[in-house]
């Protein structure tokens, strides 16, 4: 299932007060499916709590795990509210990371969250079904104490005014059979090596850590870091959507407007396994992405100028069943595509970032009409990385959103899932060094084509 977000743009349990009875808690439709092309709607999302959680700080070197440290993360909500009150699924959260023994602050910063999708998962009631809301995340984190370089502090931090740009996602999972409402959380933030996050043409381009990447991930319980994880890749899938957010002109204070999702079909064609960050451990998958929307939106992979195509990076696997996210593999992703916006007719070359999760509990759609059909268990979510007002940026927040889910494979235990082999030989891909164009944001996400599709975006922060 693939979701693309574009713009014209964890496991501690937390209890919060619930005003509605348990029977009405799930499903909660987001009001973004089923509308006409390019038409406006209004998102419906619940209030999400802040949380604390034990997490892992992972240093990667030459596409292998170099160092793993346990930390404590604290997420504090700082919601965006325009004068008219509409934010179309955008959120701000303050993130703080602490030493678990001394409590000393190690990292702090602000993330912009952009809503991507919702679904139900787990056994049917009353056994413990959950509704999950996924957000894409981007923002600067600052090391608050003098840490060792190149690990755990990236060598690029001094050049960035003691800031490091991370991208990833946050999942909020509500337990449907618990009153008051109870949430669980899963999330990941990654700052990739120079080939991706410091490419020529970006505001923070340079040579800083060509063989190193950095990841924060939670919950720590049961998570096993590792570069070799199950892979995305499918010749086509009926479960996907693109959606766009409309932003006010630069300098104005108007609302962020939501468009309905656009039904779409995608093909993600793997071409190589490689290490984009040094030695030949095949942590990365390179592929070509094609998306055709029902309203006329298209996404193609030109091979540059920033990235050679869709790239995903193996991070690790959660191994604890029954606790969100269950037994699930995790990959960070990015991509460089040409996109034609069906609503404006504009052709734009954009860079995307996001997340892929593979496995977890059985999942079903959440539609305006209620629970829908079963979903494949590979979720790919991406959003464009642009500066509000346009300009070539990788080091900023999301804009458009893409999402997708490959077709369901034959049943087998999730813990035994392995990567699908690729016939293309591994090799390091090198992309041209230009930045990508300005524009909005897109997400791609998977749902049955006849039921749901979306384009949506979020405002990007400045580098």
CA 326, 331, 336, 341: dihedral to nearest 10 degrees? 0
Helices (H), 118-229: 194-197
Model pLDDT, residue 178: 83
Evaluate whether 442 touches 264 at the Cβ level (below 8 Å): no
Query: Of all helices (H) and strands (E), which one includes residue 121?
Result: strand 105-121
Can you read off the two tokens belonging to residue 7?
Answer: 């713009």
Model pLDDT, residue 151: 94
Model pLDDT, residue 392: 36
Residue with tokens 């996404």: 299
Model pLDDT, residue 416: 25
Model pLDDT, residue 249: 73
How far lies 414's CA from each of 280, 339, 356, 369, in Å? Answer: 27, 34, 15, 30
Is the CA virtual torsion 128, 226, 169, 431 positive or negative?
negative
**Range list of β-strands (E), 195-346:** 212-218, 223-225, 234-237, 239-246, 257-259, 262-274, 284-293, 298-300, 310-319, 327-340
- How deeply is 441 buried, as exposed, middle or buried, from its count of CB atoms within 10 A (0-12, 13-18, 19+)? buried
Cis peptide before 27 (omega within 30 of 0): yes
Beta bridge partners of 364: 120, 374
Count of beta carbons in the 10 Å neighbourhood of residue 326 = 22
Evaluate whether 113 touches 77 at the Cβ level (below 8 Å): no
Model pLDDT, residue 386: 62
Nearest to 273 by CA among 316, 311, 225, 307: 311
Model pLDDT, residue 318: 98
Per-residue pLDDT 10s for the chain (463 aa) are 667 765 543 222 222 222 333 334 789 999 999 899 999 998 899 989 999 999 999 999 999 999 999 999 999 988 665 555 567 888 889 999 999 999 999 999 999 898 999 999 987 655 578 999 999 999 999 999 877 999 999 999 999 999 999 999 999 999 988 888 889 999 999 999 999 999 888 888 899 999 999 999 999 999 999 999 999 976 666 668 898 888 777 776 667 788 999 988 888 999 999 999 998 899 999 999 999 999 999 999 999 888 899 999 999 999 999 899 999 999 999 999 999 999 989 898 888 999 999 999 999 999 998 888 899 889 999 988 765 544 334 443 333 456 554 332 222 222 222 222 233 323 333 332 222 222 334 444 433 222 232 333 332 332 2
Evaluate whether 342 touches 261 at the Cβ level (below 8 Å): no
**In the chain, what are the helix, strand and coil shares in percent, each to the nearest 5?**
5, 45, 50
**Separation between Cα atoms, residue 402 and residue 167, nearest integer Å:** 15
Is the CA virtual torsion 410, 416, 419, 423 positive or negative?
negative
Evaluate whether 434 touches 305 at the Cβ level (below 8 Å): yes
Cis peptide before 180 (omega within 30 of 0): yes
């Amino acid at each position: 299932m693939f979701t693309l977000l574009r713009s014209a743009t964890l496991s501690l349990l937390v209890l919060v007060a619930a005003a509605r009875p348990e029977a009405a808690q799930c499903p909660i439709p987001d009001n973004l499916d089923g509308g006409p092309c390019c038409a406006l709607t209004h998102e419906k999302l619940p209030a999400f709590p802040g949380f604390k959680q034990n997490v892992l700080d992972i240093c990667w070197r030459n596409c292998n795990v170099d160092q793993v440290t346990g930390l404590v993360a604290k997420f504090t909500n700082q919601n965006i509210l325009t004068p008219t009150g509409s934010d179309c699924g955008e959120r701000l959260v303050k993130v703080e990371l602490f030493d678990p023994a001394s409590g000393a602050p190690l990292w702090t910063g602000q993330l912009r969250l952009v809503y991507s999708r919702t679904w139900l998962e787990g056994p049917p009631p009353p056994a413990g079904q959950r509704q999950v809301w996924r957000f894409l995340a981007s923002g600067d984190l600052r090391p608050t104490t003098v840490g060792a370089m190149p690990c755990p502090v990236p060598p690029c931090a001094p050049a960035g005014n003691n800031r490091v740009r991370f991208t990833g996602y946050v999942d909020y999972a509500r337990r449907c059979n618990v009153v008051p409402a109870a949430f669980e959380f899963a999330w990941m933030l990654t700052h990739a090596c120079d080939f991706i996050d410091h490419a020529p043409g970006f505001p923070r381009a340079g040579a800083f850590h060509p063989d190193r990447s950095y990841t924060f991930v939670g919950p720590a319980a049961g998570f096993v870091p590792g570069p070799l994880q199950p892979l995305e890749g499918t010749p086509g899938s009926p479960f996907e959507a693109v959606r766009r957010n409309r932003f006010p002109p630069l300098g104005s204070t108007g609302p962020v407007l939501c468009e309905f999702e656009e039904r779409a079909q995608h093909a993600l064609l793997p071409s190589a396994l490689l290490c984009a960050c040094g030695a030949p451990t095949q942590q990365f998958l390179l592929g070509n992405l094609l998306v055709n929307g029902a309203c006329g939106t298209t996404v193609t992979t030109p091979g540059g100028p920033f990235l050679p195509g869709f790239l995903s990076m193996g991070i690790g696997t959660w191994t604890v069943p029954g606790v969100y996210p269950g037994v699930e593999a995790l990959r960070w992703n990015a991509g460089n595509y040409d996109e034609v916006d069906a609503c404006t007719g504009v052709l734009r070359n954009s860079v995307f970032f996001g997340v892929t999760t593979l496995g977890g509990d059985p999942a079903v759609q959440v539609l305006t009409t209620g629970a829908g059909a079963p979903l494949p268990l590979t979720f790919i979510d991406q959003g464009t990385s642009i500066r509000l007002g346009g300009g070539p940026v990788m080091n900023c927040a999301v804009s458009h959103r893409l999402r997708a889910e490959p077709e369901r494979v034959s049943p087998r235990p999730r813990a035994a899932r392995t990567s699908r082999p690729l016939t293309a030989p591994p090799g390091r891909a090198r992309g041209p060094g230009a930045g990508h164009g300005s524009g909005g944001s897109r997400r791609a996400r998977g749902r049955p084509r006849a039921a749901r599709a979306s384009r949506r975006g979020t405002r990007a922060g400045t580098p």
